[in-house]
Every structure is written in structure tokens, then in C-alpha cells.
Amino acid sequence: MSLKIQTLNNISARGLDRLPRDLYEVASEMSEPDAIILRSANMHNMDIPASVRAIGRAGAGVNNIPLDKMTERGVPVFNAPGANANAVKELVLSGMLLSARNILGAWKYVEELTSTGEDLKKEVEAGKKKFKGVELPGRTLGVIGLGAVGVNVANAAQALGMAVSGFDPGITINNAWRLSAGVAEALSVDDLMSGSEFVSLHVPLVDGTRGLVNADRLKLMPKGAVLLNFSRAEIVDEDAVLESLAEGHLKYYVCDFPSEKLRGHERVITLPHLGASTDEAEDNSAIMIADQLRDWLEVGNIRNSVNFPEAIMPPTANAHRVVVINKNQPNMVGQITSALARHNHNIADLLNKSKGEIALSLVDVDAEVAQGALDELAAISGVLCVRYLGAIGPKAG
Ligand SMILES: NC(=O)C1=CN([C@@H]2O[C@H](COP(=O)(O)OP(=O)(O)OC[C@H]3O[C@@H](n4cnc5c(N)ncnc54)[C@H](O)[C@@H]3O)[C@@H](O)[C@H]2O)C=CC1
Ligand SMILES: O=C(O)CCC(=O)C(=O)O
């Protein structure tokens, strides 16, 4: 078996090394790939070949991938939850410090001084009053979205002495356990914004979060507040931010998504989508994605898919595995097992899971599966895809 993996962005070599080259061909240009690994490349207008059986996002956000189209085709999309969360947290903390202490303005001031010797020292001392800042302990921070990144940001800010509140109606039990006890629960986005001198956004870009921070909500923030956006550009109404800065209401906008309008503004700090760009985050994300893709392509297991159910079934000794992906509708398992029975196949183990419109069955059959049986499975109405993985398990002793 040889599997072809196409990369659409630079992916850490430590991750790609998890794909053994006797089994995998990995390249940025290839025809008919079995899977695609990417970071921020925009796949929405891409012609995705029919050969693709998986997409792996080496990161968190999947708004650059046509999820609905992939679900309709029966293609799982994976991401790497939490793999880059510490990197983003550290940049958010940097952003808070850059804005609280006016560091970039102060640095620019010094860079532009042309005097020397004693005159330089005098100018330094005379000029520094323009850059007086504030300290973080006691300041209020509101975190919108308490997922992998948001919880890290909230906990770190609290450890620095800030008074932190958070809003996330969909917080997972796991993230609720990770959250420091002192982080207060805001009742709504409006409630959070009206009580926060710093607001940091950590929600995915979906229909419900597009334009989440608008002119009305910016007005709720205290005068002199700082907004940090390391989520996605479209979550914030950029014109409203520029207006609020011009009115002297918002003090700083710190974000990871530059635009023509934002660039050059003295109270906007934009970084080149740098949140996840550390050695550690790039390695973690690529390793996680490579391992998950291997588990899916070779064994049929699904971990951390955003459009497919979690499905993990240890291979049965001496069995041959069939993976069936179908629309989540009644009587599919019955039809799948009947089709196999018609070909005298005995089922050794079976797992069926569903999520939204998609269902997946992992079927371990105790002998090699005939092509006729596979054709019959593929012909069942509602089946989107059938994959025959063959003998994947240990040999019985
Ligand atoms: N700048 C960068 O390089 C990076 C940016 N990101 C962005 O940050 C986002 C969050 O990343 P993670 O924390 O890893 O994702 P996550 O999936 O762990 O957390 C997202 C959280 O947002 C919550 N949420 C969704 N809609 C909400 C709403 N309307 N109000 C409040 N909470 C809401 C969810 O319940 C979830 O707990 C990503 O989707 C991505 O867009 C993530 C990593 C790197
Ligand atoms: O891979 C990157 O550099 C971007 C990371 C990111 O935005 C994400 O993980 O959502």
C-alpha cells in the first residue's frame, strides 16, 4: 500500500516524519492525493480531487476548509485541538503588555532619536513621560470563548493578578475543569464587555460569531479599553474599531490579522497571523495531525474530527476491516450486515457511530471480503463511501 499526502502549507518535519516513507509519499504538488495536510491555506475555491479521503488541519480553526462539501462527500476533516494553545496564549499576554506599557510607541520614539551622548540621555528622560503605562494586576480582562486557548489565557492572566471573567455557553466539561476557580462567569457578551478593560477573543469563525464585536458592543467597554483579537479578522467589525479608536474610546486594538485599513495606525498593533508560529506549536500540531491521519487511513479510527464522530475500535485478530460511511438515516447497519451476510461473511466486531448527518461503521470480518460484497455495500442508498482496509489486526496465535 502506498498513500499520497499533499501538503498545502509548510508543515513541521517532525510531524511529517511520523509518516513512514515506505508507506507514504509526501509532497506539496501531486495528483490524486489520499489526504491533504494544511494550515491556513484557503481551500474554499480549490478543486479538491475525488481521491481525497481525509483533510488534516495542523491547527485549530477550520474556517478555511469547505466543511459541508467534505461532509457530503463522506470525507472527515481533522484538526489538532489545543496543540497550539500555549503559543497563542503567550502572544496574547505579549499583546496585553505591549498595549499596557505603550512599548511599540516608546521603541519607535527611541529609534527615531538622532542625538548622541548627553543630549541623547536628556531626550530619553524628557520623552519617556509620553509612554507612561498601567500595570496588569487588578485590571479586568474578559475572555470570550473558553476553549483550549481561552482557558489558557484566562488562567495565565489570573496568575498575573488580573480580575478575569469569561463567557462561553458551550464550554466543555474538560475545559471547565481546567479553568482556574477564580475566573468569574459573565452572563453574556454584553455583560462581559461592559465590565472589562481588556477583552480577548477566542471563538471560532462561524456564522454566529461573524461581526460579534460591533459598534454597539465597543461602546459598552470602559473608555481606554483594549481589544485583542487572535481568533479571526471577521469576528470584529474593523470599521467600528477604527471609529472607536478615532473617538478616543478604545485605546488599542491588538490583532493577528493585518489589513490595509489597520496597517500604520498608531494604536493598532497587528501581527502577521503569528499566534501558532512557534517551534513547539508547529511540531505539536503536525505530529497530532499526522498520527490522526495514519489512524484513519490505515485503521479506520477517527480522533478529533470536526465533522465526523469519534470512532475507535481496536483491530480484531485475523480480521479484515471494512469502513462504511453513510448518511445518518434508519436501517443502515441492518443493510450493511445483511449485505455481508449474503456473501457468507461473519462479522467479528462492529462499531457504529454518528454525528449530525454522518454515520460511520467499522466492521471487522473474519475473512477476506469479496469485491462483490464491497460493491453491494457501495450500492446501498445513503452510503457515501466504502473503504476496504483488509487485514490490519494482529495475527491470532
Ligand atoms: N492566531 C492564531 O494563530 C490562532 C488562532 N486560533 C483561533 O482561535 C479559535 C479558538 O481556538 P481554540 O481555543 O483552540 O478552539 P476551541 O474549539 O478549543 O475553543 C473555542 C471555544 O469557543 C466557544 N464558542 C463558540 N462560539 C461562541 C460564542 N458565540 N460565544 C462564546 N464562546 C463561543 C466554544 O464553545 C469553544 O469552547 C480558533 O477557532 C481559531 O480561529 C487558534 C489557534 C491559533
Ligand atoms: O497554522 C497557523 O499558523 C495558523 C493557526 C491558526 O490560526 C489556527 O490554528 O486556527
273 pocket-lining for ligand 1 (C-beta < 6 Å): yes
| 209 CA closest ligand 1 atom index | 29
204 pocket-lining for ligand 1 (C-beta < 6 Å): yes
Question: Does the ipTM exceed 0.95?
Answer: yes
202 pocket-lining for ligand 1 (C-beta < 6 Å): yes
What are the backbone angles phi and psi of residue 206, rounded to the nearest 5°? -135, 175
* pLDDT computed for residue 56 by the predictor: 98
Q: How far is the CA of 280 from the centre of ligand 2 (A)?
A: 13
Rounded Cα–Cα distance for residues 30 and 10 (Å) = 15
89 pocket-lining for ligand 1 (C-beta < 6 Å): no
The one-letter code for the residue type at 10 is N
* pLDDT computed for residue 396 by the predictor: 63
Quote the Cα angle for 243-248-251, to 5°. 95
Rounded Cα–Cα distance for residues 144 and 165 (Å) = 9
Domains 85-270 and 310-397 in one fold: no
Nearest ligand, measured from the Cα of 56: 2
* pLDDT computed for residue 74 by the predictor: 96
Beta-carbon contacts of 170 under 8 Å, excluding residues fewer than 6 positions away, are: none
Domain residue extents for the chain? 1-83+278-308, 85-270, 310-397
Instruction: Annotate 249-270 with DSSP letters as a single string.
Output: SEEEEEES---TTTTT-TTEEE
Rounded Cα–Cα distance for residues 211 and 193 (Å) = 14
CA-wise closest residue to 365 among 386, 347, 390, 383: 347
The arrangement of secondary structure in 1-83+278-308, i.e. its CATH architecture, is 3-Layer(aba) Sandwich (3.40)
Do 74 and 94 contact (CB within 8 A), yes or no?
A: no
Helix (H) or strand (E) holding 285: helix 279-294
* pLDDT computed for residue 393 by the predictor: 73
* pLDDT computed for residue 1 by the predictor: 62
Instruction: Give the three cell numbers for residue 304.
Output: 478529533
Beta-carbon contacts of 224 under 8 Å, excluding residues fewer than 6 positions away, are: 197, 251
349 beta partners: 364
CA-wise closest residue to 312 among 323, 327, 300: 300
Cell numbers 467499522: residue = 362
CA-wise closest residue to 7 among 46, 50, 58: 58
**Please, what is the end-to-end C-alpha distance for the chain in angstroms?**
25
226 beta partners: 198, 252
**Helices 371-379 and 332-342: crossing angle, nearest 10°?**
150
Catalytic residues: 232, 260, 273
Rounded Cα–Cα distance for residues 358 and 321 (Å) = 19
Tell me which residues have their CB closer than 6 angstroms to ligand 2: 39-40, 59-61, 84, 273, 275-277
CA-wise closest residue to 180 among 150, 202, 200: 150
Pocket test for ligand 1, best of 64, 165, 202 (most atoms within 8 A of CB): 202
Tell me how crowded residue 117 is: count the other CB atoms within 10 A of its CB.
7
* pLDDT computed for residue 394 by the predictor: 73
| 39 CA closest ligand 2 atom index | 1
Pocket test for ligand 2, best of 8, 11, 39 (most atoms within 8 A of CB): 39
Do 164 and 143 contact (CB within 8 A), yes or no?
A: yes
Instruction: Give the three cell numbers for residue 71.
Output: 461532509
**200-223 exposure pattern, b = at least 16 Cβ within 10 A, e = fewer:** bbbbbbeeebeebbeeebbebbee
* pLDDT computed for residue 88 by the predictor: 98
Walk along the chain (397 residues) in steps of 10 and give the mean pLDDT of each run. 93 98 97 98 97 98 98 97 98 98 96 97 96 98 98 98 98 98 97 98 98 98 98 98 98 98 96 98 98 98 98 95 98 97 96 97 96 97 97 75
CA-wise closest residue to 326 among 356, 302, 361: 361
Do 38 and 8 contact (CB within 8 A), yes or no?
A: yes
62 pocket-lining for ligand 1 (C-beta < 6 Å): no
Q: How far is the CA of 70 from the centre of ligand 2 (A)?
A: 20
Q: How far is the CA of 340 from the centre of ligand 2 (A)?
A: 43
The one-letter code for the residue type at 290 is A
The CATH fold of domain 310-397: Alpha-Beta Plaits (3.30.70)
CATH fit for domain 85-270, picks 3.40.50.720, 3.40.140.10, 3.40.50.620, 3.30.300.30: 3.40.50.720
